[in-house]
Amino acid sequence: MSNFPIIETERLILNEQTIDDSKSILAMFSDNDVTQFYDLHFSEENEALALINSDIIRFKESKSVRWAIREKSNNNLIGSCGINRFDESNDVAVIGYELMKNSWGKGFATEAVVKVVEYSFSNQSPKLINKIEAYVMLGNTASILLLERIGFQCDGILRQHGKWKGSYHDLKVFSLLRSDFIKA
């Protein structure tokens, strides 16, 4: 892939994460409330730098597309989102998203995820996508409501499908098909 795609919404700019974002990413992923339902938790800036570098490499290799979510009004990083991986054998994209706690409840996640969905089903996507999946830990009500609000359906529960923070976790799988998206 060549140039990183930039997406704009009414209030947000989704663009490439840079090394300059490391302190903000550390702040986000070191917040216990943000990482409660997540497989990451950072305590040092070098962890944020490693994540940024990994996302840059994975984009160049056409394995994922992870955007920084920034408020247009001040260009501050308030979260990240994107395609965590492509399952090319099935034309599936797996998405994820996270926001800093002070940006919760403002509709930013919905605004960003809708645009990631649109991008994933567009000709701009580096891979043909027929289905978008999202995996949500049980109890993450805000994420479940977001996905349902934009048309995702629950496909079921994968028992003990995730392992992090020393425990196994059941995950709800949500999906949105290209055909469902086009009808909407």
Q: Model's pTM, two decimal places?
A: 0.94
Nearest of 177, 16, 181 to residue 93 by alpha carbon:
177
Query: Could you read off the pLDDT of 3-12 as tens digits, one per residue?
Result: 999 999 999 9
Whether residue 1 is predicted with pLDDT greater than 60 in this model: the reply is no
